[in-house]
Amino acid sequence: MATANPAFDQLMRNGELIESPNEMTPEYKKELRHTLTVSGDTELISAPAYYLAAQRAPSINAFMTGVAIIQDELAHAHIAYHILEELGEDQEKLIFSRDPKSFRYPYAFDVPLETWTELIVANLFYDQAGFCLLGDIHAECSYGPWKRGLNKVMAEENFHLRNGRTWAKRMAAAGGEARANLQRAVDWMFPLTVEWFGLPDALKMHSTQLDFRLKGKTNDQLRQWWLSLVVPYCEEIGIRVPAHREESDGQVTYVLDYPFPCTFDAELKRWDLNDPCSWDDVMQRWRARGPRNAEMVGALQEEFHKFRQAHPR
Amino acid sequence: MQFKRVHDDVRAYEVFARKLRQEPLRQIGSVVAPDDDLAAAYARATYDEERWIELAVVPREAINTLWAPGEEASA
């Protein structure tokens, strides 16, 4: 894909890293900013999303793990926002003055995580999704400062996953109420994470992010990667998920056992797996945002504005 | 570049670290802070992913860049 900038084209063609805003075309910079905003917003909002559930931790140790994870997520948000700031964005405006609806994080975080079990499934599914998406960017990203910044992020996401897997295994083995709660959380959180990876490739005509090597894998490839990690693990610990493995001509694919996409009731945290819908319906639900959007962003912004009122510039 | 924080006057610090005696010190990120002490505190809290054997913060303006990718040579 040639642009009007031969030096930029050459860096892209050679698989080189872009290191300075001076080397970017306006289109590249725009796409990079957008991708970084999604990443920063996702990390930032995971903090209040996880904190609600962390408060329900069954022990002080478990709580400490919960808040350590939250602290990691805030540091990851800092990395993305700070890179944006180096590209000329006003970080303060970005975080504290944007309309809640214009935050660009996955819809899943808008649905309240209300129990320790739901936090564990978030570590198991959401952090696994984050690991796949950011791992892909870490491996492929053409912007040097972000690629290097992600070293830290990848190391820490591993720890979140381990927390999810260890606890889920323990809960599944415990049986009874613990196991039933785990299964219930998996039932609504699995399809929500499948959706996280966005439009299927067949419906997505073109990806500028792929052209600019801001990511390496397509939506469907990322979704398959996630399924290939999550489905076998759930089966291993004896938790049901609505997907199965298929193999033909040596090619392994994970196939969903329900119509994708389908209808979700956020208040009841319930999918109607018998009610398929269109991607337009999904986009509409995403754009309207979910139950916690205004509250979580509001909580982050409120203290800042109080502080500013008390300490005018 | 001007950064905006709750403190009125802040500057960027580059963060350097290494894990092993055998490896060179390298830049791992940066922080924005109003003074050296807070820069050290932010670096310690933000870049805590490894057990570094060395961690240092340097005010960005103290670095005299001779040349860099995408930048004009200045010396």
Domain ranges of chain A: 19-310
Q: Tens-digit pLDDT profile for chain B (75 aa)?
A: 678 888 889 999 999 999 999 999 999 999 999 999 999 999 999 898 899 999 999 999 999 999 999 887 655
Element (H, E) at B57: strand B54-59
Least confident of A40-54, A111-125, A233-247, B1-15: B1-15
The confidence band for A4, taking pLDDT boundaries of 50, 70 and 90, is confident
Q: Which residues of A touch B65 (CB under 8 A)?
A: none
Provide residues of B within 8 Å CB-CB of chain A. Answer: 1, 3-6, 8, 28-32, 45-50, 68-71
Mutation target vs B (from A14, A22, A309; most B CBs, 10 A cutoff): A22
Assess whether pLDDT exceeds 60 at residue A158: yes
Handedness of CA A59, A63, A69, A73 (dihedral sign): positive
Nearest of B29, B49, B27 to residue A154 by alpha carbon: B49
Q: Do B49 and A156 touch (CB under 8 A)?
A: yes
Q: What is the ipTM of this complex?
A: 0.89
What is the per-residue pLDDT across A174-197, written as a single tens digit (0 to 9) for each?
999 999 999 999 999 999 999 999
What is the pLDDT averaged over residues A266-274?
A: 96
Taking the CB of residue A53, how many other CB atoms lie within 10 A of it? 20
Angle among Cα A263, A73, A166 to the nearest 5 degrees reads 75
Q: Which domains does chain B have, with CATH numbers?
A: 1-75 (3.10.20.520)
* Cα radius of gyration (chain B): 14
Q: Which residues of B touch A152 (CB under 8 A)?
A: 28-29, 47, 49
What is the per-residue pLDDT across A210-219, written as a single tens digit (0 to 9) for each?
999 999 999 9
CATH node for A19-310: 1.20.1260.10
Nearest of A157, A54, A170 to residue A115 by alpha carbon: A54
Closest CA in chain A for residue B5: A92
Shortest Cα–Cα distance, A71 to chain B (Å)? 9
Share of chain A above pLDDT 90, in %: 92
pTM: 0.94
Q: For residue B6, what pLDDT is reported?
A: 82
Nearest of A80, A85, A217, A90 to residue A147 by alpha carbon: A80
Kindly state whether A21 is in contact with chain B, defined as any CB-CB distance less than 8 angstroms: yes
Euclidean distance between the first and the last CA atom of chain A, given in angstroms as a whole number: 47
Shortest Cα–Cα distance, B22 to chain A (Å)? 20
Kindly state whether A156 is in contact with chain B, defined as any CB-CB distance less than 8 angstroms: yes
Q: Which residues of A touch B29 (CB under 8 A)?
A: 79, 82, 148-149, 152
Taking the CB of residue A205, how many other CB atoms lie within 10 A of it? 7
Q: Map residue A164 onto helix, strand or coil.
A: helix
Shortest Cα–Cα distance, A130 to chain B (Å)? 17
